[in-house]
Chain A
Amino acid sequence: MSLQVENLTVYYQTLRGEVRALEEATFGVADGEIMGLAGESGCGKSTLANSLIRLSLPMKLIKGRVLLDGEELPIADMERMNPFRFERISIIPQYAMNALNPTRKIGKMIAELLRSRQVDGAGFLPELKRRLDLVELSHEVLDMYPIELSGGMKQRVVMLISTLLNPSLLLADEITSALDVSSQKAVAEMLVSFRDREFVRSLIVITHDISILYQIADSILIMYAGQLAEKAPTEAIVHAPRHPYTRLLISSLPQVGVKYAEKRLTGIPGTPPMLLDPPAGCRFRERCPLAFEKCLQVPPFIQVDPGHFVACWKEFETDAQA
């Protein structure tokens, strides 16, 4: 296991109280695994990613621990996390297009960043150039300022910088959502090639777009309203989901070849609960067609098939009967 997350619970502190953005997250990411993390806005997927690398105010760690290659990460301590960041765990942030210092040439910024890690920039240059080729950027980019690059190019520069020191785990936070379909594909494939070339050992790819994950991820973790709903190999999530939320979600996605006139898809009635004061138990309960009294308790996140975890009482019930 490359990454092991245990009972991670993170709240946001706001004026009106604690927003319970992430509850009891327990899961693992294996060596070489690309794990997709999907869910609707506000489901806690970005909170999860951020708390693994930059847990800063107003986020607050309530409990839980995170192990990376067997070593515990001091995630709540901004200073003590520094040696781990970039070298062991790294992130391509959501705001990648604005993540570069506007007044520094790309090459200079990289050199300064590397120097702060006691890495010799000049000696690193050949490797840097090799990686530029890989993300399909010309070497001249090093001598340019961020505003001279297009949005997609800036994002690729950030992808390259974040993986320079070959971290064990890379978090990619919604990096395809602002892109056109054609660049989406290129970027998603680059992530896979990063893993294949062992620039990064494992990846967590956060997105709201499950079809992107279907293309590149080995497994998918579905979150709903701050709770983990289901984690399974990609094919299982897409073709044999077991959590009612996943099932309804997948069946509501329009596909090329599906026409309104022929097959009318339906969404999930209702809206996600407010996390300021969430309902007890399973948070999908109010929208779930299968909900019953047991759902007033929080369902555990249990393995039902090899590599297939679900948090749903109904699932456990049918399993027990079978």
Chain B
Amino acid sequence: MKPKKKNEFLYFALRNRKLRIGLAIILFFLLLALFGPLLIHNAPFDYVNPMGAEPPSSQYWFGTTFFGQDVFAQFVLGLRATFLVGAIGGGLGTLIGILIGFTAGYRGGIVDELLNMLTNIVLVIPTLAVLLIIAAYLQVRSILTECLFIGLTAWPWAARAIRAQTFSLRAREFVDLARMSGMKPTRIIFTEIAPNMMSYLVMTFILQFGGAILNAATLDFIGLGPTNAISLGLMMQYAVLWGALLLGMWWWFIPPGLAITAIVGALYVMNVGLDEVFNPKLREM
């Protein structure tokens, strides 16, 4: 009576409108970030337009900044930074969450109590406050350090969710069977438990990805972003700092924010779409 698992997944995945829309938006921006730099002729910080600020034109697709920098050049490179932060920062957050969640959920007992306590503590601390104070004392910051710190502070909710899932899977009898076959705990976790949670882990990663992007934008905007690169958050900071608002230079601050909103929004929509695909109960709605 039940259709084959994989086909069923693909069928619903391809049919799910939320998933398709989200994926299309992400792909669009990803391609722009990957190949956009091939289209630009100007370095992002070079003062290329002697006229200073100018609205979009055929020469400067997204116009130029107050200083005559090419907004499109900044935009595509910023997009790259955004994806980088999402992938590395979000990936790191997911990874730590997985390690702690699996350990706590599988081992149980005192190990679980301690890890759970740690998770709860880090969960309460406002992430951004910690990032702020770390970033403030770092004189030179690269995108990678930003990723690192974001990943190091973003894991708690992921760990908590994965712990709960592991906990319930651990009680399933196939885990007992694997133990009776003499399998080692780490092997059980990665070959028996983890594959069953793939959908869940993917969804966790998606949310971590989006969260990392928003966190990075916030940091950049307060002036604690990378000191040696451009990012969408930095673009917004410069725009506000140099009076783009008062001067009505909308082309300077609309693209970066719009891109972040579109990417993060697409991720959220994808997440709900995936949930519907994985969870048959929600399909009817």
Physical contact A–B (CB less than 8 Å): yes
Residues of A within 8 A of B (CB): 14-16, 19, 42, 57-58, 274-276
Q: Are B284 and A276 in contact (CB under 8 A)?
A: no
Contacts of B8 on A, CB cut-off 8 Å? Answer: 15
Q: Are A57 and B1 in contact (CB under 8 A)?
A: no
Contacts of A275 on B, CB cut-off 8 Å? Answer: 1
Q: Considering residues B1, B3, B8, B284, which has the most beta carbons from chain A within 10 angstroms of its beta carbon?
A: B1
User: Once bound together, how far apart are the Cα atoms of A19 and B1, in whole Å?
Assistant: 8
Within 8 A of A (CB), among B90-130: none
Q: Are A14 and B3 in contact (CB under 8 A)?
A: yes
Q: Are A16 and B3 in contact (CB under 8 A)?
A: yes
User: Once bound together, how far apart are the Cα atoms of A276 and B4, in whole Å?
Assistant: 14
Q: Are B3 and A57 in contact (CB under 8 A)?
A: no
Contacts of B11 on A, CB cut-off 8 Å? Answer: 15
Contacts of B3 on A, CB cut-off 8 Å? Answer: 14-16
Q: A15-B8, A15-B11 are in contact. Are A274 and B284 (CB under 8 A)?
A: no
Q: Which residue in chain A gives the minimum CB-CB distance to B284?
A: A57
User: Once bound together, how far apart are the Cα atoms of A274 and B8, in whole Å?
Assistant: 18
Instruction: Tell me, rounded to whole Å, the shortest Cβ–Cβ distance linking B172 to chain A.
Output: 19
Contact with A along B1-34 (1 / 0, CB 8 A): 1010000100100000000000000000000000
Q: Which residue in chain A gives the minimum CB-CB distance to B3?
A: A16
User: Once bound together, how far apart are the Cα atoms of A284 and B36, in whole Å?
Assistant: 66
User: Once bound together, how far apart are the Cα atoms of A282 and B8, in whole Å?
Assistant: 31
Contacts of A15 on B, CB cut-off 8 Å? Answer: 3, 8, 11
Instruction: Tell me, rounded to whole Å, the shortest Cβ–Cβ distance linking B23 to chain A.
Output: 21
Instruction: Tell me, rounded to whole Å, the shortest Cβ–Cβ distance linking A43 to chain B.
Output: 13
Contacts of A42 on B, CB cut-off 8 Å? Answer: 1
Q: Which residue in chain B gives the minimum CB-CB distance to A21?
A: B1
Q: Which residue in chain A gives the minimum CB-CB distance to B11?
A: A15
Within 8 A of A (CB), among B249-285: 284
User: Once bound together, how far apart are the Cα atoms of A58 and B1, in whole Å?
Assistant: 14
User: Once bound together, how far apart are the Cα atoms of A58 and B284, in whole Å?
Assistant: 9
User: Once bound together, how far apart are the Cα atoms of A19 and B284, in whole Å?
Assistant: 17
User: Once bound together, how far apart are the Cα atoms of A275 and B2, in whole Å?
Assistant: 11
A-B pairs with the 9 shortest C-beta distances? A16-B3, A15-B3, A276-B1, A57-B284, A19-B1, A274-B1, A15-B11, A275-B1, A15-B8
User: Once bound together, how far apart are the Cα atoms of A109 and B284, in whole Å?
Assistant: 28
Contact with A along B151-175 (1 / 0, CB 8 A): 0000000000000000000000000
User: Once bound together, how far apart are the Cα atoms of A275 and B11, in whole Å?
Assistant: 22
Instruction: Tell me, rounded to whole Å, the shortest Cβ–Cβ distance linking B4 to chain A.
Output: 9
Q: Which residue in chain B gives the minimum CB-CB distance to A56?
A: B284
Contacts of A276 on B, CB cut-off 8 Å? Answer: 1
User: Once bound together, how far apart are the Cα atoms of A42 and B2, in whole Å?
Assistant: 12
Instruction: Tell me, rounded to whole Å, the shortest Cβ–Cβ distance linking A86 to chain B.
Output: 24
Q: Taking A14-B1, A274-B1 as given, write out 7 further A-B residue pairs in contact, using a Cβ cutoff of 8 Å, ordered by the A residue number.
A: A14-B3, A15-B8, A15-B11, A16-B3, A42-B1, A58-B284, A275-B1
Contacts of B1 on A, CB cut-off 8 Å? Answer: 14, 19, 42, 274-276
Instruction: Tell me, rounded to whole Å, the shortest Cβ–Cβ distance linking A223 to chain B.
Output: 16
Q: Which residue in chain B gives the minimum CB-CB distance to A19?
A: B1
7 CB < 8 A contacts A-B: A14-B3, A16-B3, A19-B1, A42-B1, A57-B284, A274-B1, A276-B1
Contacts of A274 on B, CB cut-off 8 Å? Answer: 1
Contacts of A57 on B, CB cut-off 8 Å? Answer: 284
Within 8 A of A (CB), among B202-246: none
Q: Which residue in chain A gives the minimum CB-CB distance to B8?
A: A15
Instruction: Tell me, rounded to whole Å, the shortest Cβ–Cβ distance linking A215 to chain B.
Output: 32
Contacts of A16 on B, CB cut-off 8 Å? Answer: 3
Contacts of A19 on B, CB cut-off 8 Å? Answer: 1
Contacts of A14 on B, CB cut-off 8 Å? Answer: 1, 3
User: Once bound together, how far apart are the Cα atoms of A274 and B1, in whole Å?
Assistant: 6
Contacts of B284 on A, CB cut-off 8 Å? Answer: 57-58
Instruction: Tell me, rounded to whole Å, the shortest Cβ–Cβ distance linking A45 to chain B.
Output: 16
Instruction: Tell me, rounded to whole Å, the shortest Cβ–Cβ distance linking A211 to chain B.
Output: 27
Instruction: Tell me, rounded to whole Å, the shortest Cβ–Cβ distance linking A20 to chain B.
Output: 11
Q: Which residue in chain A gives the minimum CB-CB distance to B4?
A: A16
Instruction: Tell me, rounded to whole Å, the shortest Cβ–Cβ distance linking B92 to chain A.
Output: 37
User: Once bound together, how far apart are the Cα atoms of A19 and B3, in whole Å?
Assistant: 12
User: Once bound together, how far apart are the Cα atoms of A201 and B113, in whole Å?
Assistant: 54
User: Once bound together, how far apart are the Cα atoms of A42 and B1, in whole Å?
Assistant: 10
User: Once bound together, how far apart are the Cα atoms of A276 and B1, in whole Å?
Assistant: 6
Instruction: Tell me, rounded to whole Å, the shortest Cβ–Cβ distance linking A169 to chain B.
Output: 28
Instruction: Tell me, rounded to whole Å, the shortest Cβ–Cβ distance linking A181 to chain B.
Output: 23
User: Once bound together, how far apart are the Cα atoms of A240 and B8, in whole Å?
Assistant: 46
Instruction: Tell me, rounded to whole Å, the shortest Cβ–Cβ distance linking A56 to chain B.
Output: 9
User: Once bound together, how far apart are the Cα atoms of A127 and B1, in whole Å?
Assistant: 46
Instruction: Tell me, rounded to whole Å, the shortest Cβ–Cβ distance linking B1 to chain A.
Output: 6
User: Once bound together, how far apart are the Cα atoms of A14 and B7, in whole Å?
Assistant: 14
Instruction: Tell me, rounded to whole Å, the shortest Cβ–Cβ distance linking A59 to chain B.
Output: 12
Contact with A along B30-46 (1 / 0, CB 8 A): 00000000000000000
Q: Considering residues A15, A42, A276, which has the most beta carbons from chain B within 10 angstroms of its beta carbon?
A: A15
Contacts of A58 on B, CB cut-off 8 Å? Answer: 284
